[in-house]
Amino acid sequence: MGKIELDWANLGFAYRDTACHAEYVFRDGKWDEGKLVESPYIPVHIAATGLHYGQECFEGIKAFRRKDGRCSIFRVWENAKRMAATAERLCIAPVPEETFVEACKRVVAANADYIPPYGTGGSLYIRPLLIGTGAQIGVAPAKEYTFIVLVTPVGAYYKGGLQPVKAIVLDDYDRAAPLGTGHIKCGGNYGGSLYAHEMAKRMGYPVELYLDAKTHTFIDEFATSNFLAITKDGKYVTPDSTTVLPSVTNMTLMQLAKDFGMTVERRPIDFEKEIDDFAEVAACGTAVVVTPVNSITRAGKERVTGPATGCGPVLEKLFHAVQAIQYGEAEDVHGWNEFVDC
């Protein structure tokens, strides 16, 4: 394989074909050994349950070229666990956690040339995908599943510092029903939220915040990322809700905040009662780590939730602490990095 020349500094977050992806098939009650496939297309049966009945789920992870030249994947075991939990809720045959991690490492190693070099701020985004591929027309779980791991190089999201965005609460839409699927990472949650997302974008808000569907009182999360706030008295607060996705980034930030000696509270957050107590607010997730949110608008009323420009000091510190561990610039005391030989 020849060295790949990409404009590493300007990759953005767009899909690019790479050398190959991995495919594992579950058939006759067991997973096969998997294989690497060059073509970015898969032949799918027209009656596959993944196409008709939403038997589909995914994950998002990142691999990094480190300061010491090695490569590591960040907290991949957490994603393995989460996909297994998601699969169970969708009656999909779960991928054993060891197989999941092995598949990620295998695809990253086979695409080593696509890992953005250290210093460019980029990473190799890993997208595991698990779909029902067995043909079925009656509504029931499929007997056959395909597990795919694809990768694509992505650039630094922020150039020249973290930039804040404005958020909106659209009270006419909900993301997740109280006893529904908000806590799992299934494609259906995304399909159901695109309409409100496009509407928010047209109104000039890059992100939309959801309140709990039952009472519209408590904060749940943004459409594709968790909500966290730094209160004016310096606490890290994030919602305790059964309808938000357990974000690995949020878990990471909570741990680092504790390591810094901050008080971390996971509890119900009443939007109207607490919105004016926040010094900094962010949306967090694997793709960008943190997106500072400096105002939230609800029912035509805009509330200030952070500095007008740039990023607040606590979020800034947390963001750099995460990146330093990911790029091997700081000690990984919690053992979050999984090394790949490549």
Ligand X SMILES: *Cc1c(COP(=O)(O)O)cnc(C)c1O
Binding site for ligand X (CB under 6 A): 60, 185, 221, 224-226, 245, 247-250, 285-286
The span from the CA of 48 to the CA of 31, in Å, is 18
Catalytic residue among 35, 62, 166, 185: 185
Q: C-beta of 140: minimal distance to ligand X in Å? A: 26
Pick between residue 60 and residue 310 the one whose CB is nearest to ligand X: 60
Tokens at residue 304, please? 């200030």
Q: Is 185 a catalytic residue?
A: yes
Contacts of 134 (CB under 8 A, 6+ apart): 45, 48, 49, 142, 143, 144, 145
* 200: enclosing H helix or E strand: helix 194-202
H/E stretch holding 231 reads: strand 226-231
Beta carbon of residue 190, minimum distance to ligand X (angstroms, whole number): 7
Identify which of residues 16 and 183 has a Cβ nearer to ligand X in the complex: 183
* Closest alpha carbon to 327 in 79, 63, 110, 5: 63
- Structure-block tokens of residue 15: 């899909």
Instruction: Name the residue nearer to ligand X (CB basis): 193 or 294.
Output: 193
**Beta carbon nearer to ligand X, 53 or 74:** 74
User: Ramachandran region of residue 59, left (φ > 0), alpha (ψ -120 to 50) or beta?
Assistant: beta
- Helix, strand, coil distribution of the chain in percent, nearest 5: 25, 30, 45
Nearest residue (CB) to ligand X, 26 versus 271: 271
Query: 55 with 221: CB under 8 angstroms?
Result: no
Distance in Å, CB of 128 to ligand X, minimum: 12
Least distance to ligand X, CB of residue 143, Å = 27
Contact criterion met (CB below 8 Å) for 55 and 142: yes
Answer yes or no: are the C-beta atoms of 269 and 219 closer than 8 Å: yes
To ligand X, the closest distance from the beta carbon of 86 in angstroms equals: 10
Rounded-to-integer distance, Cα 123 and Cα 114, Å: 9
Report the residue number, 20 or 154, with the smaller CB distance to ligand X. 154
Query: Hey, what are 249's tokens?
Result: 């980034």
Minimum separation from the CB atom of position 189 to ligand X (A): 6
**Could you give the residue numbers annotated as active site?**
185
